[in-house]
Amino acid sequence: MRFTPTFVLASLAAFTACAPATTTTVATAPQPVVAAIDSVSIRTLVGQLDLEQYKATIKGLTQFGDRRQGTARNRAAVDWIEAQLKSYGCTNTERITYNYQVDTTRRASTVRGRLPTSAPGGAKLRGNLAPIGVNGDSLAQPDPKIRALDTEQTVSGERQEVYCTKIGSTHPDEMYIVGGHMDGIGWGEAANDDGSGTALVMELARVFSSPDVVTDRSIRFILWNNEESGLNGSRAYVAQRQSLQGKEGEPKWLGMIQHDMMMFDHGMPRPDHTMSPEQRPEADVNIEFQVNSKMAAESQKLAWFFQNANEKFATDYPASVGQHMTNTDSDPFKDIVPSISLRENERGTQIGAGWDPQWHQPTDLYATYNDKDFRLGLNAAQTTLSAVAELVGARLGK
């Protein structure tokens, strides 16, 4: 079993006992003593996250409509995100450039879709189902302003995605990658999918970029493009940069943490396919790894590490761990480094069963959500911020 950094080995070893035993390759040698975590610093950093600020960042993203890849509104959103990152003090922004050829055989259905018959990622559907699909009908968007905003359709050609990096003080050449996808589809505002994940990554970039925050290791904040077309932006990153690790500009990857659809957990659909209008009290942050991947054991440890950080530092909603990570930008990394995704629901068993009626629909609007929904996203941000802060050795002061 290959662990990447010694630090992670030490940090994660404490959590192997509570993890379900899907693998039995846990090291049996005595583990190094984990350095005392600076909980005061981490709690202070978590306190820098703010519900109104998180909402404002999501709202800012929705000015670009659904931000569909290959359009002017998508490029404008990349520019806006980059300007925001710089304004937060994450000034070393860079872009990945790649080419994407539109697959004209992939056409959005013009209706909400059909009841699902199977779940992706190795998951199993249970209980009540609701229809899923991608809206491709402009007239399904009743607001003429949003309809006009989303009218330009995608064309093949050059694409870009932006990232910035918090440089570690003692191990700048090693980093965790924290990502969300900034493109969307469906003739709405992509407020939840994935404005909520994009805003989470941006908020973490803001907190970690404060000049009084020091980290031992580096963190790269990246807003993927072309997720909805098939993870093309994250695949381009892996294709271009995997072999550059350890060389200038590309620290060694220690782990990849993806965020997608962070806000809506209203429970299982009712038997008539309708949904509860309120966030369920049992709402949780779903942390998934992929059991059928080369890095399954390490990824599982990382998932439980995040679950534990949630217990310690998240204010309102708990986190759950699942083993069927799929259809997300951490997928291209899953055989290379420990990789997890955070979501409002499990991708296979829950989103795949129709638990989010706004998914790829004209109703994925900022105005659709209330503070209980936004707060689930904020709790996911608290979870990732505290976990990553521990992993990179974050503290206040010089």
List residues binding Zn ion (CB under 5 A).
193-194, 260
Amino acid, res. 191 = A
Q: Where are the alpha helices (DSSP H) in 89-241?
A: 144-149, 197-208, 232-241
141/147 Cα distance (integer angstroms):
6
Complex with Zn ion: residue 192 or 215, whichever CB lies closer = 192
110/287 Cα distance (integer angstroms):
32
Complex with Zn ion: residue 194 or 346, whichever CB lies closer = 194
Helix (H, G, I), strand (E, B) or coil at 259: strand
Complex with Zn ion: residue 260 or 390, whichever CB lies closer = 260
CB of 356 to Zn ion, least distance (A): 10
Which one, of 271, 303, 267, lies nearest residue 282 by Cα? 267
CB of 180 to Zn ion, least distance (A): 8
Complex with Zn ion: residue 60 or 184, whichever CB lies closer = 184
Q: How many CB atoms lie under 10 A from the CB of residue 40? A: 10
Cβ neighbours of residue 43 closer than 8 Å, sequence gap 6 or more: 313
Contact 284, 320 (CB under 8 A): yes
CB of 77 to Zn ion, least distance (A): 14
CB of 33 to Zn ion, least distance (A): 40
Q: How many CB atoms lie under 10 A from the CB of residue 114? A: 12
CB of 329 to Zn ion, least distance (A): 9
Contact 50, 167 (CB under 8 A): no
Query: What torsion do the CA atoms of 372, 378, 121, 281 make, to the nearest 10 degrees?
Result: -30
CB of 51 to Zn ion, least distance (A): 22
Complex with Zn ion: residue 174 or 183, whichever CB lies closer = 183
Complex with Zn ion: residue 214 or 380, whichever CB lies closer = 380
